[in-house]
Structure 1
Amino acid sequence: MIGFVPAPLMGFIVVVGTIAIAFASYFVARTLLSSRGPEESKDLAGSVVIRVSALHGLILALVFAQELANFDQIGDGLSTEAALIGDVFHDLERFDADLTKEVRDDLATYTRIVLDEELPALADGKPLLRKAWESWDDVYNAILDLEPQNVRQTALKPILIKNVGEVSQLRLKREEAAEDGVNGLFMLAALLGVALTAAAYFAFPPTVPNLLLLTIFGTYTGLIVFFVIAFAYPYSEPGEVRPVGLQKLYASEMQGRLPGQSYP
């Protein structure tokens, strides 16, 4: 979902809307300028179309590349969070399996909340869940309360504190990514680019081939805009970052501690 609208429907709306803008701009420009010798303006119109289209394509390409890079960073952040949680979980067991049983259960609870509740909440535009923060806080406080009894435990405690602290930073980055959304200036530039490019075609008659070419232009631009929107909402379909690492960790190491939850 993107803004509570199914992804296919959103894609259809964006593409059709872009085509409509292209056609409206073309016919408005042709209506206003048809009496001023459009045939004599073909050369200049063609030159303007080339330049405006080039700038428009460059803007779309740059924004698309930026959103794709952000998407990859969010995926890397989720993978890093899964790795840190796994390290904390296993280091707690290395510290003392019996003494840390309860805190490892708390860590499993935290992981379940993130997978089942927090990530879907971020997809719906909600902030990080207080419930997840409280679960993380339980783990953090339990680690701070550990009292090392030997060299092994003394070496493990600062590592545990460091790793669980980094999880907190990654959580905040997850929330920031969910709140960014689509840049309004990009949308304005994209739609104006479509309108201006289509308007510059006013010197060409509305024949079937010309209208087909205008439709192709609007369709492809609409698809690019839709892809940018999809990547701008990384926790919603279709541009969804899937927490594969966290799911595998939970399924292989934690789900037995909390019956009724499974991730293949």
Structure 2
Amino acid sequence: MNDIGTKRASIWCERFGKLMEENGYTQESFLKEYKKKYGGGTQANVSRWLGVGRMIKKDGTPKAIGFPSYENMLNIADFFDVTVGYLTGETDFETFEMEKACKQIGIDEDTGKAIKGIVTGESVEPFGKYEAKELRAVFKCLVTANSFPVLIKKVREYAENVYYMKNPINYLEIAKQKIGKDIIDLAIQCMDYQVEHDDEYGDIDDFKENGIERTEELSNAIRILNEAEDKGGGEVMMCERDVELSEYKLQKVYFEIIKEIVSDKNLPEMTIPRNEDINLAKIKCGN
């Protein structure tokens, strides 16, 4: 196989194996269902299909296992309700319908599948599939709410502030680049050293007491490092403040959108009527 063929084979094996695992199939159980649906196939076939690209020896010569026949590729794709293109890596979308829908609104397949799982109730436990109509109503009210775009914006701002808090600019490392390598270690050692006068203890000179000559170059290096340390500390405090502020704003928008969603006009769509409500409606309608 060439490089493209090798890559396609690798993707085929990965996605075919994943589909088998997600649907709870062993080779034996898959073969049983496959034969029932398409009327052919052997254990050796399934093993080869799952091992496309693997090197084997044939007549003493190493040879890569090839792809199934196109008919079998179509059958396998149909069996798992995906496309051949998905299995071979030509597209990352499992179905043409999902690809079209996702591209139309500008989202990736994982997002599309997540939305589908919500509105069909498949990903909502327990009993989600029995509440699909109401779940669709909730989802519609959520994404069409006036506050929803604001919520998205505030989540993005909050995420950015959290990122900056967790990944602050290292001003000290930047400052070190401005100082000569021959003096950097000594400057770091002396960052807290002082020269001052105290009425009780008299003159205090940490440099002199430690036998260090306080040159202009050393003093300038210490100043640069101390300024960087102060700036870094200020940056951390500012980031923490921004996180707290954006978190407060996000919570405020959250409560606004909840209030908007559960307005009187939306409640009937999202509610499953109780038996008493249904009976009352019948009485009012004269049925």
TM-score computed with the length of structure 2 as normaliser: 0.32
What is the TM-score with the length of structure 1 in the denominator? 0.34
Choose between structure 1 and 2: higher strand proportion.
2
- Find the structure with the greater CA-based Rg: 2
